[in-house]
């Protein structure tokens, strides 16, 4: 453990800032998508929406879509009287107050490829403003002062003519009908320096864990001399998982170092995954989840990198939950004299023993294998004076 902490601290003092810069650049490049995803997932919680709906002739709509089709819920019979050509159609476009994404229940047409083509006018609910700002800043990592409200296209405006493209969305009324979101949050001058850096929390975690070193050495000497008045097996079980978590954090950071030397775009997601895992493995040591540290953004980025992040989903789930086993174990064994407290060490050891193999495997298959090796050689009989079976 001492060597692992030493290696991590060395990286923190020489190279970390460069690696964080790569991560921060990735966060900035993904910020627009993060806000877009936030609106698609939680828009209806914070906004009221007016949707520009196509109002068509009911007879024509039923003929095309089928009688009683949901797609015809905004049709009107009066429109039929305005059709003058036997080959033509006539439609009007009106704003309809409806739920915001992800609720499409009020839409006349289902989203195409997951993207509703109707334009939307968004309006932030007055009674939700504080919650909105707290949530969007936490999930996207973009500070409030780096977000402004504006208009944007949501997809290729294939149903908008060249005149709209050249002259602007407000040049003709029908230019507004499709593929636009109005009055939505957008990034504004968001740069790498604005990204929250977990370096201080990582350093605090390493310093906290490092405090175990001297006590563990003393206990080891007492066990060897036969003067230890606690239960040696409990100590082994209590400290093994925390030590292995630290070592996994170091391995992840060492992978970051390797990738950073010649990082290609295809490898960037793997780089980001390792960088975040190198942070996540240490957070239980300071007893703080992602949310309590204001590091929710790290979790969103982790989820957003897709398949690469699936490998580390277990440790991500752990740092989301301050009541998970690693948090509880760290809480019991850290602090002045904690490893001398037989009751605390015993509780920590029992929590570790109660962890199911599949739960450990989600943290890391390497940790699962190493704990399995300990299980094979440690005699957990509370009356056995030795640590290992002879």
* Whole-number CA gyration radius for the chain: 29
| Three-state DSSP state, 360 | helix
Strands 120-124 and 180-187 come out as parallel
Query: CA dist 352 to 285, 330, 345, 386, Å?
Result: 15, 11, 11, 20
pLDDT of residue 308: 44
pLDDT of residue 49: 97
Over residues 35-60, the pLDDT tens digits come to: 999 999 999 999 999 999 989 899 88
Tell me phi and psi for residue 127, to 5 degrees: -80, 5
Give the C-alpha separation, 95 to 107, whole Å.
12
Q: Are 298 and 197 in contact (CB under 8 A)?
A: no
pLDDT of residue 87: 60
CA atoms within 13 A on the CB side of 62: 9
Question: What pTM does this model have?
Answer: 0.70
Residue 302 makes CB contacts below 8 A (sequence gap 6+) with 272, 273, 276, 280, 309, 312, 316
Domain spans in the chain, listed from the N-terminal domain onward: 32-192, 198-377
pLDDT of residue 265: 57
Structure tokens at 165: 């493209």
pLDDT of residue 388: 46
Residue 360 makes CB contacts below 8 A (sequence gap 6+) with 241, 367, 368, 371
pLDDT of residue 389: 42
Residues forming a β-bridge with 153: 180
Low-confidence ranges of the chain (pLDDT < 70): 86-88, 109-116, 155-161, 261-267, 287-297, 299-300, 302-314, 335-336, 379-390
Over residues 294-319, the pLDDT tens digits come to: 566 676 676 666 544 455 566 777 77
Q: Please provide the DSSP assignment of 93-127 as one string.
A: EEEEEEPPTT--TT-SSPPBTTB--B-EEEEE-GG
Whole-number average pLDDT of the chain: 81
Q: Are 241 and 334 in contact (CB under 8 A)?
A: no
Give the C-alpha separation, 141 to 341, whole Å.
41
């Amino acid at each position: 453990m001492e060597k692992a902490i030493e290696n991590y601290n060395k990286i923190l003092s020489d190279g970390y800032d460069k690696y964080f810069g790569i991560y921060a650049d990735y966060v900035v490049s993904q910020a627009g998508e993060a806000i877009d995803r936030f609106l698609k997932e939680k828009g209806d919680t914070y906004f009221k929406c007016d949707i520009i709906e196509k109002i068509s002739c009911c007879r024509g709509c039923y003929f095309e879509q089928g009688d009683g089709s949901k797609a015809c819920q905004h049709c009107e019979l009066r429109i039929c009287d305005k059709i003058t050509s036997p080959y033509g159609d006539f439609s009007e476009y009106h704003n309809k107050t409806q739920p915001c994404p992800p609720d499409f229940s009020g839409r006349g047409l289902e989203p195409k490829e997951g993207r509703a083509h109707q334009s939307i006018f968004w309006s932030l609910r007055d009674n939700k403003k504080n919650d909105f700002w707290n949530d969007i800043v936490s999930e996207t990592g973009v500070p409030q002062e780096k977000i402004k409200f504006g208009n944007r296209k949501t997809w290729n405006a294939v149903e908008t003519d060249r005149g709209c493209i050249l002259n602007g969305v407000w040049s003709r009324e029908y230019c507004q009908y499709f593929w636009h979101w109005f009055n939505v949050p957008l990034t504004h001058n968001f740069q790498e320096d604005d990204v929250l850096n977990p370096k201080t929390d990582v350093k605090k975690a390493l310093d906290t864990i490092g405090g175990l070193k001297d006590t563990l050495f003393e206990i080891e000497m007492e066990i060897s001399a036969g003067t230890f008045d606690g239960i040696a097996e409990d100590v082994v079980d209590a400290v093994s998982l925390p030590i292995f978590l630290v070592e996994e954090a170091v391995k992840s950071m060492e992978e970051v170092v390797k990738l950073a030397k010649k990082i290609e775009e295809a490898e960037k997601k793997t780089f980001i995954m390792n960088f975040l895992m190198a942070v996540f493995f240490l957070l239980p040591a300071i007893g703080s989840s992602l949310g309590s540290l204001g590091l929710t953004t790290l979790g969103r980025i982790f989820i957003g990198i897709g398949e690469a992040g699936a490998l580390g989903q277990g440790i991500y789930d752990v740092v989301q939950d301050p009541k998970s086993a690693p948090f509880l174990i760290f809480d019991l064994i850290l602090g002045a004299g904690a490893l001398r407290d037989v009751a605390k060490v015993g509780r920590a050891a029992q929590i570790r023993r109660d962890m199911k193999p599949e739960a450990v495997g989600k943290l890391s298959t390497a940790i699962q294998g190493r704990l399995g090796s300990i299980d094979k050689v440690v005699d957990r009989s509370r009356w056995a004076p030795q640590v290992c079976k002879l």
